[in-house]
Amino acid sequence: MTRWLTEAVPRGRVAAFRTVIYLFVAADLVIFTPWVRTRVSVPGDLYQPLLIGRLLPLPTPTAAVVAVIFWSLLVLALLAATGRAPRLLGWAVCALYLEWMIIAMSYGKVDHDRFGLLVALAVLPTAGRARHGDTTRTEAGGWALRVTQIAVICTYFLAAFAKLRFGGLDWLTGSVLARAIIRRGTDLADLIAQVPYLLIVAQFGIVAFELLSPVVFFLPPRWRLAMVGFFYSFHAVTIATITISFAPHLAAMTSFLPLERVRPIIWARRLAGRPAPEPPKGAVDDQAEPGTEPDPESVSPGGQAPVVGRPAGP
């Protein structure tokens, strides 16, 4: 179990994931949740903080508090996306974004699509330094990605559990999707709704997909990527029909992807005719096909690919 939780990944993957997550936090402030700033106009007695907000305790949001959190978080998230001071900036972004979410979700509605993102922000500072393109493997970074993946899958599985707990079997055979289409459906959704019993079949399919989502951890790498692709296609259909994006969840789900292979700077250099920088000495090419042996000259003197960041413990 420990080996699975700390399966080593290229540092370049950690660096890319870190950039994706922190850039999303900055985008979230100005695109997806700018409405949090309007909470200051709501009477303070309507603020009913979540349990964590009551335990800490945190102040009732005011214009000054929200403004400080917004601008501080925006600046720090952009700085953290560069990979500099990963622990200091990472913990600061994690704390500020958690408070941002507590404010957002303490007025009667809690969005479950934020769980994976919050976990990612909590574990990324523990991954240590990582450079884009570095193929040296790290177990600390692997642990951060694995924990995020578990949070992503728990979001699906526990969503199905909640549906059956509070809605029972009536959730499967009721008019859940029909009501969603009436409230916020698109033209595509209107066409789908005209097909007899298709919405009922879709509701059974959604619950089955969510309950079976943990299977992704037992699949071979290529099939795992295919299943993650199915996850993304499911959300694409959701956006196209009932305009619900689950954007934070989609950002956290990139923890499953080989992000180290996405190298926009390298591609830009090639288009400009400039040579790409040499990979770090002693690194193993993580893009080699599965089952192939690494070049003997590209491994460490001990004959093993270098692994760094092993956590303390058994």
Question: To the nearest whole number, what is the mean pLDDT of the chain?
Answer: 86
Residues 104-143 have pLDDT tens digits of 998 888 888 999 999 999 999 999 999 998 999 999 999 9
Mean pLDDT of 75-102: 96
- Position 219 in a domain: yes
Which pLDDT does position 176 carry in this prediction?
Answer: 93
Mean pLDDT of 5-34: 95
- Position 132 in a domain: yes
Query: Contact 300/137 with Cβ under 8 angstroms?
Result: no
Mean pLDDT of 57-64: 85
- Position 8 in a domain: yes
pTM: 0.83
**Cis peptide before 57, with omega less than 30 degrees from 0?**
yes
Percent of the chain with pLDDT over 90: 68
> Positive or negative CA dihedral for 230, 236, 240, 243?
positive
- Position 211 in a domain: yes
In the predicted model, is pLDDT for residue 299 greater than 60? no
Which pLDDT does position 41 carry in this prediction?
Answer: 80
Number of structural domains the chain divides into: 1
Rounded CA separation 153/255 (Å): 11
Chain-centroid distance of CA 125 in Å reads 15
- Position 286 in a domain: no
Collapsing DSSP to helix, strand or coil, 83 comes out as coil
Expressed as residue numbers, the domain containing 39 is 2-264
- Position 290 in a domain: no
Rounded CA separation 101/105 (Å): 6
In the predicted model, is pLDDT for residue 280 greater than 90? no
Which pLDDT does position 279 carry in this prediction?
Answer: 55
The residue that leads in pLDDT, 46 or 146, is 146
In the predicted model, is pLDDT for residue 157 greater than 80? yes
- Position 161 in a domain: yes
- Position 313 in a domain: no
Which pLDDT does position 265 carry in this prediction?
Answer: 67
Outline where DSSP puts E strands in the chain.
Answer: 9-10, 137-138, 307-308
Eight-class DSSP state of 169:
T
Q: Would you tell me the crossing angle of helices 11-27 and 139-162 to the nearest 10 degrees?
A: 50
Name the nearest CA neighbour of 80 among 71, 90, 72, 68.
90
